[in-house]
Amino acid sequence: MKAFLILEDGNVFTGKSIGSTRDMISEIVFNTSMTGYLEILTDPSYAGQAIVMTYPLIGNYGVCYKDMESRQPWADGYIVREIARTPSNFRSENSIENFLKEKDIPGIEGIDTRALTKILREEGTMNGMITTNENYVLEDVIKKLKEYRVKNVVMEDYGSKDNIADCLLKRGCDVTIYPAFTKAEEILAEGFDGIMLSNGPGDPAECVDIIEEIKKMYASDTQSSGKRFKFRKSIYFHTKSWVCSH
């Protein structure tokens, strides 16, 4: 099936659909690794992003679930030059194409990923859409891409510097700062687009009460203020020590 990658600067790449066929809008970033594609897909630092792999052949050694960096993939989308449909590796338990389908991750193959990477390097990271709709209207898609961003952000203050909030403000976010011991229910009720957990002093493992509130937000899939929260996409950790604690 034909697929299209449309960038917010108007560039369009045409290729073949891999993985899920649903439309996807996300921030497009690139990775130059030659191996480790499963680790990259399951790296929480790629939450809310679609990944371009510059290495030309991805998936040749298949999927070994023991190599996953977390329990689930975090990438919004996957963009490759060529995908290997018949992996060759005694450890392989699945193909990368089936993995993308099972995890509902849209992807595209058959495009010039190095040309795409050059655009991202020269013009900066930008939003993009992967779609299988051949009747898309470019002007409408570009408008959606330019409007796409996480706007209303709450930051939980565990001892953060002012610069963290300033960086969010510079990116066009409206930031609301909550004290460290705020209950998860209070934050969920406000309907924010995303949550930033700041760094702070001490050992995070000792912050038992805070960790319990983070778990509630992480597991939340409730209706609040007309929005459905999917915190797989919208909790961002300022320090990786928190990732190890929840």
Q: What pTM does this model have? A: 0.72
Q: Which domains does the chain have, with CATH numbers?
A: 2-147 (3.50.30.20), 152-243 (3.40.50.880)
- What pLDDT does residue 207 have? 86
- C-alpha distances out from residue 128 to 5, 30, 32, 131, 170, Å: 7, 12, 19, 10, 21
- What pLDDT does residue 148 have? 84
Q: Which positions of the chain have pLDDT values less than 70?
A: 150, 221-246
**Is residue 37 within 8 Å of residue 79, measured between CB atoms?**
no
Half-sphere exposure of 193 (CA within 13 A, CB side): 12
Alpha-carbon torsion 163, 167, 168, 172, what sign? Answer: positive
**Is residue 9 within 8 Å of residue 29, measured between CB atoms?**
no
- What pLDDT does residue 28 have? 95
Strands 24-31 and 126-131 come out as antiparallel
- What pLDDT does residue 204 have? 79
Residue written as token pair 């909030």: 165
- What pLDDT does residue 233 have? 45
- C-alpha distances out from residue 173 to 44, 103, 168, Å: 21, 29, 6
- What pLDDT does residue 243 have? 36
Among 152, 132, 124, smallest CA distance to 77 is for: 132
- What pLDDT does residue 41 have? 96
CA distance 93 to 96: 10
CA distance 122 to 92: 37
Cα dihedral 221, 227, 233, 235, rounded to 10, equals: -80
Distance of CA 28 to the CA centre of its chain: 9
